[in-house]
Amino acid sequence: MKIKKRHFALICYLILLFLPIYWMLNMSLRTNADIMSTFALFPSHPTLENYMKIFSDSSWYSGYINSIIYVTMNTVISLLTALPAAYAFSRFEFIGDKHIFFWLLTNRMAPPAVFLLPFFQLYSTFNLIDTHIAVALSHCLFNVPLAVWILEGFMSGVPREIDETAFIDGYSFPRFFIRVFIPLIRAGIGVTAFFCFMFSWVELLLARTLTTTVAKPIAATMTRTVSATGLDWGLLAAAGILTIVPGALVIWFVRNHLAKGFALGRV
């Protein structure tokens, strides 16, 4: 009985969690005229018109492609740089280690509004404005520290005897790291990649400032549409639903890793 009550509460929470998303899905399947004229819990005449519009207009769908490109680049860069650093923090004591560790986290604390202009100037100097790599690099500011922080936790959960044994067996450091160590924390890498993907995907201010047309992210395309064409609620809802899809796909594919990775987390 007690267990049932617990599950009931959890299911209620998950339904409440899903309601706003359901409402957007509902609206995305209706025309704007329909939305404004009637209030309906279920779309009475579901239509895919809004989605067709997005998939047939390149100014819309290129936004999704751009976002996916820079998010992927950012995730790869963050993981590649954070892996060795996290290893250093979890295994070695060196001058300034604790300070650097905390300093890394402080980079998430800068209010972006004012830092946008210096960012723009910096990336202009390197001729990187409106490229995917510029956005990917700028997102490293908050993703790399987070990746180091999370990976360090997973790595500290791996006993150091494993490293020692491998070195006695004659493994060189790079070979040990790639062949032995990385497979051990694979699930942790999955979790970290998920977090990097997530934070880069949802960030808007930096992505919008550093791009104009070629690398414009989808979230920026959406804000422009809101102001330009009045409010086409149906179209807006459809675009919003489509912003959830890539993330939902990622999480569906890594769900087992995620559960396993979370289970390995050091606390």
Partner 1 sequence: MMNKWRNNRAWFLVLPVFVIVAFSAIIPLMTVVNYSVQDIFGPGQRFFVGIEWFKEVLLDQRLHDALFKQLAFSGLVLLIEMPLGIIIALMMPKKGWTSSACLVILALPLLIPWNVIGTIWIIFTRPDIGLFGAFINSTGIAFDHTASGVDAWITLMLMEVWHWTPLVALLAYAGLRAIPEAYYQAAKIDGASAWAIFRFIQLPKMRGVLTIALLLRFMDSFLIYAEPFVLTGGGPGNATTFLSIYLVKIAVGQFDLGPAAAFSLIYFLIILLFCWLFYQALQAVGTGDKS
Shortest distance in whole angstroms from residue 57 CB to partner 1: 18
| 49-56 and 233-253 helices, crossing angle to 10° | 80
- For partner 1, give the closer residue by CB, 24 or 130: 24
Amino acid making up residue 77: I
Shortest distance in whole angstroms from residue 61 CB to partner 1: 16
Shortest distance in whole angstroms from residue 183 CB to partner 1: 19
CA diameter of the chain: 75
Between CA 211 and CA 161 the distance in angstroms is 48
Between CA 168 and CA 34 the distance in angstroms is 72
Between CA 179 and CA 170 the distance in angstroms is 13
- For partner 1, give the closer residue by CB, 185 or 218: 218
Decide: 200 and 143 in contact? Cβ < 8 Å.
yes
- For partner 1, give the closer residue by CB, 15 or 48: 15
Ramachandran category for residue 172: left, alpha or beta (phi over 0 → left; psi -120 to 50 → alpha): beta
- For partner 1, give the closer residue by CB, 49 or 157: 157
- For partner 1, give the closer residue by CB, 13 or 165: 13
The whole-angstrom distance between residue 62's C-alpha and the CA centroid of its chain comes to 19
Shortest distance in whole angstroms from residue 114 CB to partner 1: 4
Shortest distance in whole angstroms from residue 4 CB to partner 1: 12
